[in-house]
């Protein structure tokens, strides 16, 4: 089984604006990144964890530690979040 380190691509930063967490593209990422990606509080917390180059299991452990949810829900939420970030082209592949 392959183990993927989840790493946010360079040139993107997370910032709170107007009480929303927003992914901001920098430099030449401005043109390649279309639209806006806003994150919820928990999404922003996961993003900050991903900035530390972690594994998917680390994110699940983080969710279990920070939020009172069971493992199944935590795994589903993490998978959903990682897929959304990947779909936007924000992950190093």
Interacting residues with other proteins (CB under 8 A): 13, 15, 17-20, 22, 24-28, 30-31, 36, 38
H or E element at residue 43: helix 41-50
Of the two residues 25 and 43, which places its CB atom closer to other proteins in the complex?
25
Please state the length of the chain: 93
Instruction: Tell me the β-bridge partners of 55.
Output: 5
Min dist. Cβ of residue 47 to other proteins (A): 16
Min dist. Cβ of residue 77 to other proteins (A): 24
Min dist. Cβ of residue 59 to other proteins (A): 25
Alpha-helical segments (H) within 1-93: 29-32, 41-50, 56-66, 71-87
């Amino acid at each position: 089984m392959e183990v993927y380190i989840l790493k946010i691509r360079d040139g993107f930063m997370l910032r709170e604006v107007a009480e929303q967490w927003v992914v901001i593209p920098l430099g030449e990422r401005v043109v390649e990144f279309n639209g806006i990606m806003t994150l919820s509080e928990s999404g922003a917390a996961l993003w900050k964890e991903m900035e530390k180059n972690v594994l998917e299991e680390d994110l699940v452990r983080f969710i279990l530690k920070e939020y009172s949810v069971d493992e199944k829900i935590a795994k589903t939420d993490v998978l959903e979040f990682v897929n959304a970030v990947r779909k936007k082209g924000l992950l190093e592949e």
